[in-house]
Structure formats: structure tokens, C-alpha cells
Amino acid sequence: MRHFTVHHDGVEIPVTRGGRGRPVVLCPGLNSTQADLRELTELLRRDHDVVTFDLRGHGLASAADRYTFEAFAGDLAAVLAEPKLDLDAAPVLVGYSLGADLAVHHASEHPGGVAGLILIDGANPVPEPFITEDVLPEFRAMWEDMATRQEAERGTARQVLLTAQEILDLNVEIDAVRSGILERYRKIDRPISMIMSTSMAGDGDEGHAPRLNRNWRAGVERLVREQPRIATFWLDADHRLVFTHAPEIVRIIRSAAGAVGRATP
């Protein structure tokens, strides 16, 4: 196991590398850290050379003066460009939630820089934005509660330093990013697999969950209609699937990553 720090844009990004096999770089999502993804990472390391890191303001990474999609994308690019990484081959880039969107944007801007993409419950070209006026109060209350609970994690490997307002602003920005993400997919000639949750917003029949879940599925169906080469896997789970279904996700990643070397774009 190796640990080192990437210095980028005034931020210190902690990186961990371990395991043997095809290189895999795991990009976490908003409000998730290396420590949170430990089960997924340890299972992957049985068959892969796995690189994990914390995004700015998350885990053991330092705080930053801005938390934007562009800034997080810069964190991922800095890790992949770090000379100390010294990978034997182009990695399979695995992204969770926001990390999936970052992976798609990176791959579209760096042709040949990755061997393939595995996207977990993110990078979805949904027909409608998630943050609309009718759900805004509910989401704002949820993130305010989350920010309060996260104060107990300050100083630990699971800390998240973003405020509720910063999380809200970033989610609004992600909606805008996803409105144009189909164009990004068109620029990628690497194999892509998606692992998606059937109940992204929860499995309740009341409130906004049913509509949000339909919107989530409609986005994937829209993408696959345009890009039928993309392999899609659905798990009976909500958006926390990386924490609740790690073994199933790893089996899919092993299969998809193994196929990367045999695939012809």
C-alpha cells in the first residue's frame, strides 16, 4: 500500500494505491470519501491495482475556497496526471455519483487517457432537472441536517467540510452539467458500463421519490437509445448502493474491467 499527496490549486489531495492487476482509479462522489468506500476498495484490490483519493473538502483532503464542478474535475485530472502515480497502463476509471460525471468529462477531454469507464449511479442525462422549486425546500432541509450530522466527523477520514448551501449550489450545477452530458458521451471511444440504482431517490410510493426515480430511469434509457454500446446494470437499491451492495458492484466491475482489454472501440 502506498500513500502520497497531490498538490493542486492550493489543495492537498491524499492518494492511496494498493493491489495488483489492471489499474483502476476510483473517483468518489459528493459527500463520500476514501474511508466511506473502504469495502468496495478492499474487494477491488483482490484483482486490481486500485487508486483512491479524496476530493477537496472531503476526508483527509484540505479545504478549498471554491467547490464547483470545474474545481472537482481539476482534482481528478491532477491525480491522474501526478508523476508519482506511474501506472503501467491507462486505467479503468470508476466514478460514483458526482465522480461518474467527473469521469465522463475527463474522458471526453483526454482521448486515450483511460482504458474504459464504469459509472455508478451518476452521469445520467435525465430529461428533467432534480432540483426544482417544488423539491427545493425538502432538499435544503435534508442537506442542512446532513451538514449538522457531519460536524461529528470533523477531523476524521470521513469529514465533509462543505456547507449545506455549497452542497445545494453544486447540485444545481450538476443538473446543468447533465443537461449537456450527451455531447460528452459522443466524444468518448472507450468501453463504458453503467451500474445504476432502481430507486435512486428511495423506494417509497409517496412524495417526490416516484417521479425522481422515473426521471432517473428515463435518463438512462435516453442515453442507451443514443449509445447502445453502453452496458447497463440495474441494482435493486437506492443511491447508497456503493455502501449497501459493494460485493455485487465489484463483481460487475471485475467483469467490465476484464472486458476492456478485449474490447474494440
Domains in the chain, CATH or no CATH each: 2-260 (3.40.50.1820)
Residues 87-120 have pLDDT tens digits of: 999 999 999 999 999 999 999 999 889 999 999 9
Residues 49-58 have pLDDT tens digits of: 999 999 999 9
Of 245, 230, 160, the C-alpha closest to 190 is 230
Residues 134-179 have pLDDT tens digits of: 889 989 999 999 999 999 999 999 999 999 999 999 999 999 999 9
The predicted model scores a pTM of 0.96
Amino acid at 38: R
Q: Report the helix count and the strand count for the chain, using DSSP H and E.
A: 9, 8
Helix (H, G, I), strand (E, B) or coil at 92: strand
Please give the Cα distance from 138 to 212 (Å, whole number). Answer: 13
Beta-carbon contacts of 226 under 8 Å, excluding residues fewer than 6 positions away, are 182, 185
Helix (H, G, I), strand (E, B) or coil at 95: strand
At residue 61, φ and ψ (nearest 5 deg) are: -75, 155
Helix (H, G, I), strand (E, B) or coil at 257: helix
Q: What is the pLDDT of residue 257?
A: 82
Please give the Cα distance from 188 to 265 (Å, whole number). Answer: 9
